Amino acid sequence: MSHCASPSRCTPLNVATGARVDVDFPELSTHHRHFCLAEDLLVLCDKASNAIRLLNPLTRVLVEFPAISDVRFLDPPSTKVDVPNPPVIKGAGIDDSTCPPTLVLCLRNKLSHVVCAKPGDGHWVSVHHGEQRVVLVTALGGILLQSLLSFRGRCYFTTPRGDIMTVDLGPMTSHRSPKKPRMVYLHREMALGDRVEAASYLVRSHNDDRMLMVRYSFSRHGDLTDGDGNPPVKTFMSCGNPSRMEVSEMDIDGRRLIPLHGIGNSAAVFVGDTHSIMLSTGKFPKIAANTVYMNYFWQRVRRFGTYQFEDGTTTLPRDLRRNKEGREEGFSPCACHLELDDYLICHSHSR
């Protein structure tokens, strides 16, 4: 968790035990802090060179990666990707299927790119869209995605509708089909109606033994049936639109989603494009159990803050940008002034 008092100060939080400690990392003052956690490591971008570094907050060890300004397509070979400065990194994961392991990042600006590199590589490689075919996205070299999760040594992605994909890292090919690294599907969402909008997020269970997908969906056309015309089990109204919240467990070996009745009576989930996190309400008793906390972006857009699976109710959105006189102000998430739930609401969708 970051602090406004000092650019080099932060508070690592152990989400399993609730333990936290204030530490000072001089590296944070010279880097853009993206706080996309990859296996408990912080992703940093050097302000001067754009080099990416992984920081272990416990050992203070830094691992060097190429400058993120040098990203190249597989097709056509060696063509550079236009990366903004500073880059917009919205998600990070580590894939252990290579030696040394590969760092995978999501870059988002006008298009979304998944890029990967290993320590010692000369540049980053833009992952090919592979099996994904989305008009006006993949044709321009981008990939349609919502969230990234590193789980049991592999990187998994969702699309907004709830498709689940992973990265086939190699061996790298660029002159024949299929090109690698590339995206491959594990599960394709077929039940959601064509006129339904959705946002889907992957999250590890608080004991790290399961991968879950949380999906919020709504329809501006008043029809929230699935692809077979069946109505959903529970709906609620948001901005005058029928809406629903779902949670499923991903069976990786079976390549299927198993619907669940909720998060569980001892856990809650904070969802966001940067990352999603599940907390034990036993360790964090101020957090409401069996509840999805929407990130700050969705709270402002869809006008609700949390969804509680137990009774299907929602709470009002948090308005963290207004001062005591009601004037809107800009702010950065800061552990100095925010409660944990408010900090995570902002941090899970930080830009």
Q: What is the pLDDT of residues 11-21, one digit of tens each?
A: 777 777 777 77
> Which pLDDT score is estimated for 233?
62
DSSP code, position 261: S
> Which pLDDT score is estimated for 351?
47
What CA–CA distances, in Å, run from 271 to 47, 111, 181?
28, 21, 27
Task: Note every long-range contact of 254-260, with CB atoms under 8 Å and residues 24 or more positions apart, other chains counting.
Answer: 255/186, 255/187, 256/187, 257/162, 257/164, 257/187, 257/213, 260/212
Task: Note every long-range contact of 281-288, with CB atoms under 8 Å and residues 24 or more positions apart, other chains counting.
Answer: 283/15, 283/16, 283/17, 283/18, 284/18, 284/340, 286/339, 286/340, 286/341, 287/340, 287/341
> Nearest-CA neighbor of 183 among 199, 169, 198?
169
pLDDT in tens, the chain (351 residues): 555 556 666 777 777 777 777 777 777 776 666 555 556 788 888 888 999 999 888 788 899 999 999 999 887 777 888 888 778 888 999 999 999 999 999 998 767 899 999 999 999 999 999 999 888 788 888 899 999 999 999 999 999 999 999 999 977 777 767 778 999 999 999 888 878 999 999 999 988 889 999 999 999 887 776 555 555 568 899 999 999 999 999 999 999 999 999 999 999 999 988 889 999 999 999 999 999 999 988 999 999 999 999 999 999 998 766 444 444 444 455 555 567 787 788 766 654
CA torsion angle 228 231 217 133 (round to 10):
0
Contact 165, 151 (CB under 8 A): no
> Nearest-CA neighbor of 276 among 126, 158, 143?
158
> Which pLDDT score is estimated for 320?
64
> Which pLDDT score is estimated for 341?
82
CA distance 8 to 30: 9
Q: Are strands 267-270 and 291-293 parallel, antiparallel or unpaired?
A: parallel
| Residue corresponding to tokens 């969402």 | 189
Model confidence, pTM: 0.88
> Which pLDDT score is estimated for 331?
47
Contact 84, 103 (CB under 8 A): no
> Which pLDDT score is estimated for 241?
93
> Which pLDDT score is estimated for 328?
44
CA distance 181 to 184: 10
CA distance 145 to 157: 7
Question: pLDDT for 40-54, tens place per residue?
Answer: 788 888 888 999 999
